[in-house]
Structure 1
Amino acid sequence: MFYDLVVSNRSYRRFYEEHSISEGRLLELVNYGRLSASGANKQPLKYIISSDKEKNQIIFPHLLWAGYLKDWSGPKEGERPSGYIIILQDKKIGTSGVDHGIAAQSILLGARSMDLGGCMIQSIKRDELQTALHIPDQYEILLVLALGKPKEVVIIEEIEEGEDIKYWRDERQEHHVPKRKMKDVVLTL
């Protein structure tokens, strides 16, 4: 069961935009991040949530989507996320180390358990988004999680050592994600 949850937790980039996510659902997901491990238990992460269409429209243009897909600038209208969780670092508390990655993974696994999907986005026009949302300087934007009901098929492709790791889309717009084989990631020393 956990295996299926992990395998189905892909970077989804197209969604059924009309499928709304309640604020309560987003808060439930944030709670998974809040309860996740934190280096030295500092807990420097803060979160901004959005399931509001107007706020979502402010967030969307500040995100850069799928760098390997050079001919695709992101989801078109109707396929955009219906919710976002912005993960911030409270600079007054300290640095997050890898806390934001741990929290993001917990949130995305939680989203999959709710039949939702998401994409962890680190390519962000941070200064512009910070200004657009009036985020105080005390907070640094670390990640944006784009969330929604997935509208795309993501296929894992096992590759041989040395083959290209760049994801790609086929003619049916199915998203293929190359993954190294188990024998190529476990070292026997």
Structure 2
Amino acid sequence: MIRDLIKKNRSYRRFYEDETIEPETLMELIDLARLSASAANLQPLKYILSHDPATNALIFPRLSWAGYLKGAGTPPRGERPSAYIIILGDTEISKTFWCDHGIAAQSILLGATEMGLGGCMIGAIDRDGLRRDLNIPSRYKILLAIALGKPKETVIIETVGKDGDIKYWRDTEGRHHVPKRKLDELILNLSYDRSAL
């Protein structure tokens, strides 16, 4: 059921680093992104795949992890991702990428979740450093990074409290809590003049 898959698809930041992800698995995930919607069907996205420790070590320090956790969000050695997908926009195809990279990233993460993996979509990237380290040509805009691995943490969805605080947090047992607004808070019931229709 898609609802169960979405609930299980959390932003994981702790992984079993020694659990490898094969290149074929990453290719399957990119194929899901390839099959997903694209604005005007331009398909301007390109991908860099990393599953080896040397390349992963170049990518890891260029990403910022879990800003609300004040340093505790960065995975320690042994709990870092075992693979990454870097999503790029090819400016020779389009100058604007609209929401394509968000759609692609969600498809990738849902596919990873179905495979028993987990991941985290990261937009806080040292783009200049990553471009230099991975020798990314200037025609490609760095849009997102997706960290992937076998999750080593529990993520709990809960309702936003009365104080309205939406910041995620970790309890003393290391469980990651993610407050979500109630459904009825998200739906706007606007009044408008129906006679104008």
TM-score (norm 2): 0.94
Task: Provide the aligned length of Structure 1 versus Structure 2.
Answer: 189
Aligned counterpart, 2:106:
105
Instruction: Find the aligned partners of 1:104 and 1:175 in 2 and give their Cα distance.
Output: 21
Corresponding letter in the other structure for 2:188: L
Aligned counterpart, 1:163:
164
Gaps of at least 5 residues in structure 1 are none
Aligned counterpart, 2:137:
136
Q: Which has the larger radius of gyration?
A: 2
Give the CA deviation at 1:173: 0.7
Give the CA deviation at 1:187: 1.7
Give the CA deviation at 1:30: 0.6
Corresponding letter in the other structure for 1:180: R
Instruction: Find the aligned partners of 1:147 and 1:25 in 2 and give their Cα distance.
Output: 11
Q: CA RMSD in A?
A: 1.0
Give the CA deviation at 1:71: 3.4
Give the CA deviation at 1:161: 6.3
Aligned counterpart, 1:151:
152
**Is 1:33 equivalent to 2:33 in the alignment?**
yes
Aligned counterpart, 1:47:
47
Instruction: Find the aligned partners of 2:183 and 2:161 in 1 and give their Cα distance.
Output: 10
3-state SS in 2 of match to 1:68: helix
Per-residue Cα deviation, 1:143-180 (whole angstroms, up to 9, x for no partner): 00000000000000112565100000000010000000
Instruction: Find the aligned partners of 1:71 and 1:122 in 2 and give their Cα distance.
Output: 17
Instruction: Find the aligned partners of 2:4 and 2:152 in 1 and give their Cα distance.
Output: 18
Instruction: Find the aligned partners of 1:162 and 1:37 in 2 and give their Cα distance.
Output: 38
Corresponding letter in the other structure for 1:154: V
Gaps of at least 5 residues in structure 2 are 191-197
- Tell me if structure 2 keeps the 8 A contact 1:89–1:96: yes
Instruction: Find the aligned partners of 1:122 and 1:152 in 2 and give their Cα distance.
Output: 21
- Tell me if structure 1 keeps the 8 A contact 2:23–2:51: yes
Instruction: Find the aligned partners of 1:163 and 1:81 in 2 and give their Cα distance.
Output: 32
Per-residue Cα deviation, 1:119-150 (whole angstroms, up to 9, x for no partner): 00000000100000000001011000000000
Aligned counterpart, 2:24:
24
3-state SS in 1 of match to 2:89: strand
Instruction: Find the aligned partners of 1:180 and 1:109 in 2 and give their Cα distance.
Output: 21
- Tell me if structure 2 keeps the 8 A contact 1:161–1:184: no
Equivalent residue runs for 1:66-105 within 5 Å: 66-72=66-72, 74-94=74-94, 95-105=96-106
**Is 1:57 equivalent to 2:67 in the alignment?**
no
Corresponding letter in the other structure for 2:98: G
State which drifts further: 134-143 or 156-165: 156-165
Corresponding letter in the other structure for 2:116: D
Aligned counterpart, 2:175:
174
